[in-house]
Amino acid sequence: MSLMTEVGQKAFDLGVPLAVHMDVTYRCNERCVHCYLDHDDHGEMTTAEIKDVLDQLAEAGVFFITFSGGEVLMRRDFFEIVEYARRLMFNVKIKTNAVMIHEEEARRIRELGVDTIQISVYSHRPEVHDAITKLPHSFERTVKAIRFLREQGLRVTIANVLMTVNSSDHSGVQELAAELGVQYTLDPTITPMMDGDMSVLSLRIPGEELREIFRNPALVGNEEEFCAPPKPPSEEDLEGYSCSAGHSFCYISPYGDVFPCVQFPLPTGNIRQQKFLDIWNFSPQMNEVRSIQAKNLTVCSSCSHVSSCTRCPGLAYMEGSMRGPSTADCEKSFYRTGVPTANMLRQGLSKPRTMAINTAPLIQIRPIAVPA
């Protein structure tokens, strides 16, 4: 077990929020076709409010903080926020589209001791990337920014969200990443929009293409190991939890709402009304999330994939129950191994339905009304 894994497990066992993802704004200069956010400002936290939250997070034991959005640089005070976070000795990661990063911004990011910058690149073909972001010349600007960041010696990761419109471009983006000297990560997850609109799910790549991706050693490493049939779950597996959401990780929106994860829109409290630690320690919703072990899952506890599935409780929640299955992850487990999931079998399916558009209720990440 690596030292980092050991520390992560310790935080998980102690219920310490080791890592927090904070969206500082939902405003954005791009309009990506798959984005789940509403880009209007419904009352973002002020600079002073964010600094106060950072003080509270440091006191609560948070070590890793990821600033994301929207586009983080839409906030004029963004560098002031990062500087404050670094003075509090957080390990800071930034997620950005990078189109507003030039030499000066890259230098400032290096001076501030930012750990990693994750940048979305959808294709190696400018016309495809720009068609997804709906911002002309965004590919050119993003790639230029990556070069500025690399010149400063910063660690950059290209995040390549795969969907129908760019599903054949992953190898091109991987080559681009290699040429730029940056890391590459692929994500085939498309999330319902925050206003409950499910239409973006039609962008999810079809299962057959998912199967090909899972059998590409350049993307998954050891294909045989990655695609191996699931092992029967042990008792320990059934005592386990889905992920770190609510255990050692949480998400804070630009409006101060606290959720178990960025992909888990269960409101647990608002930092403008309560102290962070009160929400973290005493929110009934947070404690409910924490209480769910694999053996408590309504369908998945009897699934052969239970010990190896990437089941996301947030996506399951958006489908209607945080204890239920997440259809998108059922698909991944099936196309990875060829073994049907319990969720498919109970529906009499030998393979997933063509499109994984479910009948999820309209659960949304919205600002919670805060009295004036």
Partner 1 sequence: MPEACIYIARSSAIAARALAGEMMVMNSADSTFFTLNPVATAIFQAADGRTPLRDIVRDRVCEQFDVDPEQAQADAEQFVSELSSHGILLVSSQPLAPETP
**Where does this chain bind partner 1 (CB under 8 A)?**
3-4, 7, 10-11, 14, 16, 18, 58, 61-63, 83, 86-87, 89-92, 111-115, 153, 155
Smallest gap from residue 339 Cβ to partner 1 (A) = 37
Smallest gap from residue 307 Cβ to partner 1 (A) = 28
Q: Toward partner 1, which CB reaches closer, 80 or 195?
A: 80
Smallest gap from residue 111 Cβ to partner 1 (A) = 7
Smallest gap from residue 113 Cβ to partner 1 (A) = 5
Give buried/exposed letters for 238-248 (b at 16+ CB in 10 A, else e). Answer: eeebbbbbbbb
Q: Toward partner 1, which CB reaches closer, 11 or 149?
A: 11
Q: Toward partner 1, which CB reaches closer, 61 or 196?
A: 61
Q: Toward partner 1, which CB reaches closer, 92 or 356?
A: 92
Task: Give the Cα separation of 348 and 340 in Å (integer).
Answer: 10
The strand ranges marked E within 175-325 are 183-187, 249-252, 257-259, 269-270
β-strand partners of 21: 66, 251
What would the DSSP string read from start to end of 127-194?
A: HHHHHHHT-TTHHHHHHHHHHHHHHTT-EEEEEEE--GGGTT-HHHHHHHHHHHT-EEEEE---PPPT
Residue type, 339: V
Phi, psi of 67 (to 5 degrees): -95, 125
Phi, psi of 298 (to 5 degrees): -65, -45
Smallest gap from residue 107 Cβ to partner 1 (A) = 13
Q: Toward partner 1, which CB reaches closer, 5 or 222?
A: 5
Let me know how long the chain is. Answer: 372
Q: Toward partner 1, which CB reaches closer, 3 or 48?
A: 3
Cα 339 → chain centroid: 26
Smallest gap from residue 183 Cβ to partner 1 (A) = 12
